[in-house]
């Protein structure tokens, strides 16, 4: 079993370049640390992702030296996740954009939703790779699935093909979903996943 932690930094408008520069320096040498900025979705966000086979390893060694409000970081949201299915891919080239789809799970329906996703993912994987499928361990009960694509054109084409083929989205999930959010993130120059 593996675990993932995400940290999302909400930055004041106009501060992203300087904050990214500070983050590149302060996170240098941390292996397997993914870092993205939001292209479509909530603007002025930076998202970090790291994983471990042991949840306590993530909790006991938090990322430090992150910029604070003095330089424009307005809020940092941290979520721990349980990874389902395959491990995260090895760091390296996976795509120029990553679609993060995060859905609130209606209370008491996590098991049913995971079953529906588990049934649908194998056919969807025949069309493109899945970076991660995970459920939240803290905060609101959520499921998040992350898909890397070469670019937005490939994303549009593959999603259209998956829908036309009837393999995606997973059938029967609508009753188990609350609020749904989709964001397109692009890797930073120093992200372990590009």
What string of pLDDT tens digits covers the 194 residues of the chain?
A: 699 999 999 999 999 999 999 999 999 888 899 999 999 999 999 999 999 999 999 999 888 878 887 789 999 999 999 999 888 999 999 999 999 999 999 999 999 999 999 999 999 999 999 999 999 999 999 999 999 999 999 999 999 999 999 999 999 999 999 999 999 999 999 999 99
Sketch the domain layout of the chain as residue ranges: 3-187
- Distance CA(83)–CA(44), nearest Å, equals 26
- The predicted structure's pLDDT at residue 10: 97
pLDDT for 64: 80
pLDDT computed for residue 168 by the predictor: 95
pLDDT at 170: 96
Dihedral angle sign, alpha carbons of residues 135, 137, 87, 182: positive
pLDDT number for residue 163 = 96
Distance CA(11)–CA(38), nearest Å, equals: 11
Q: State how far the Cα of 5 lies from the Cα of 53, in Å rounded to an integer.
A: 11
Question: How is residue 145 written in tokens?
Answer: 């699935």
Confidence at residue 96, expressed as pLDDT on a 0 to 100 scale: 97
Instruction: Give the pLDDT score at 1.
Output: 60
Asked if 37 contacts 20 with a C-beta cutoff of 8 angstroms, the reply is: yes
Topology of domain 3-187 in CATH is Alpha-Beta Plaits (3.30.70)
């Amino acid at each position: 079993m593996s675990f993932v932690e995400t940290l999302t930094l909400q930055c004041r408008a106009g501060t992203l370049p300087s904050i990214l520069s500070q983050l590149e320096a302060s996170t240098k040498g941390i292996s397997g640390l993914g870092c993205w900025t939001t292209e479509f979705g909530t603007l002025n966000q930076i998202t970090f992702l790291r994983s471990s086979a042991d949840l306590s390893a993530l909790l006991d060694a938090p990322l430090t030296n992150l910029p604070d409000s003095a330089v424009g970081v307005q809020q940092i949201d941290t979520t721990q996740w349980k990874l389902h299915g395959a491990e995260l891919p090895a760091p390296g080239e996976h795509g120029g954009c990553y679609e993060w789809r995060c859905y609130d799970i209606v209370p008491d329906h996590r098991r049913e939703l995971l079953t529906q996703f588990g049934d649908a993912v194998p056919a969807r994987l025949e069309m493109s790779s899945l970076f991660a499928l995970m459920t939240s361990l803290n905060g609101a009960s959520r499921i998040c699935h992350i898909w890397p694509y070469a670019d937005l054109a490939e994303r549009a084409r593959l999603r259209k093909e998956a829908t036309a083929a009837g393999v995606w989205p997973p059938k029967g999930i609508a009753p188990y979903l609350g609020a749904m959010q989709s964001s397109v993130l692009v890797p930073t120059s120093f992200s372990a996943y590009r």
